[in-house]
Copies of this chain bind each other. A is one copy, B any other.
Amino acid sequence: MESGLEREIKIRIASPPLKKIEEELDRLAKTLGTEEQTDYYFDKENMELTKGDKALRLRMTDTRSELTYKGPRLSDKVKARAELSLMLEDPESMRKILLNLGYNIILIVKKRRKNYDYRGAVISLDRVEELGDFMEIEANALDDDGLISLTKELMKLLKVQGEFETRSYAQLLALKTGRSV
């Protein structure tokens, strides 16, 4: 249901342990809930979406399913891209329609995500299967510099050490598994 520009920063957490950051955030921010998310990424045989820096994702959790299209990245500094989403009541039929249109599942990303609201920004603590622990800060209302300031402030507050990662989980997982996504 959310449509618009997604603007986020992802940090690959070096330290402290995720549990420690979680305890801090439980105190400092408003918990929005925890989900086990399985993301199915689709593309055509010719990888037209991947080549165009686009993504088509079916996200399934215990309680909801969502289809999302992501457009090409618009910024080098942070991860900013057009995003269109809609909730699905019947993800299995959607999956079958996509298969019939020639879209195959090229990658599956599984993670546990805990979301927080912090001054209007959404902080996600992610434990991603095969990739490790990450923190994402999404603030669609801020510009690039505002988001970078907020992120640095948060890292200081939470004593987080880690590097900025502009690639998506799908890209990182594809790199790891030797797939050209």
Q: Report which of B3, B56, B87, B89 forms a contact with A96, defined as CB distance below 8 A.
A: B3
- Chain B positions within 8 Å of A118 at CB level: none
A67 on the B face (CB < 8 A):
yes
- A49 nearest in chain B by CB position: B101
- Chain B positions within 8 Å of A1 at CB level: 89-90, 93
- Chain B positions within 8 Å of A87 at CB level: 89-90
- A122: min CB distance to chain B, Å: 20
- Chain B positions within 8 Å of A149 at CB level: none
A3 and B90 CA atoms in complex are apart in Å by 11
Interface positions, chain A 53-104, Cβ under 8 Å from B, are: 54, 56, 67, 69, 71, 82, 84-90, 93-94, 96-97, 100-102
- Chain B positions within 8 Å of A69 at CB level: 96-97, 100-101
- Chain B positions within 8 Å of A101 at CB level: 49, 56, 69
- A97 nearest in chain B by CB position: B69
- A42: min CB distance to chain B, Å: 10
A89 and B1 CA atoms in complex are apart in Å by 9
- Chain B positions within 8 Å of A90 at CB level: 1, 86-87
Known: A56-B101, A69-B100. A94 touches B89 (CB 8 A): no
Known: A1-B90, A89-B89, A90-B1. A84 touches B56 (CB 8 A): no
**A–B complex contacts, Cβ < 8 Å, 19 sampled:** A1-B89, A3-B93, A49-B101, A54-B100, A56-B97, A56-B101, A67-B94, A71-B100, A84-B96, A84-B97, A85-B93, A86-B88, A86-B89, A86-B90, A86-B94, A86-B97, A87-B89, A87-B90, A89-B89
